[in-house]
Amino acid sequence: MELRLRLPDEIHARLRVAADEDGNSLNSEIVIAIEEHLARRQESAVRAIARKVAQRDAELLHRLSQ
């Protein structure tokens, strides 16, 4: 898929530096940044669900650990 993306100059410059440091193209660096962001979001959602389950079932989990 082709996508035209408008970035603020500062973000573009930071991405360019990161790409150069990592030996990646600018496009690859943007894809990596997006993938990492989506992975963090998913991990955060899973942790939130786990916290809710742990809170809801705290007594049961405690009894099971005995």
How many distinct structural domains can be found in the chain? Answer: 1
Residue 12: inside a domain: no
Question: Domain for residue 57, yes or no?
Answer: yes
pLDDT lower than 50: segments of the chain: none
Whether 23 is in a domain gets the answer no
Q: What integer pLDDT is reported at residue 24 of this predicted model?
A: 98
**DSSP track, 35-66:** HHHHHHHHHHHHHHHHHHHHHHTHHHHHHHH-
* Residue 31 lies inside a defined structural domain of this protein: no
Tell me which residue range forms the domain holding 59.
41-65
Supply the pTM of this predicted model.
0.68
Flag whether 47 is in a domain: yes
Rounded Cα–Cα distance for residues 63 and 10 (Å): 54
Within a domain: residue 25? no
At residue 18, the pLDDT reads: 97
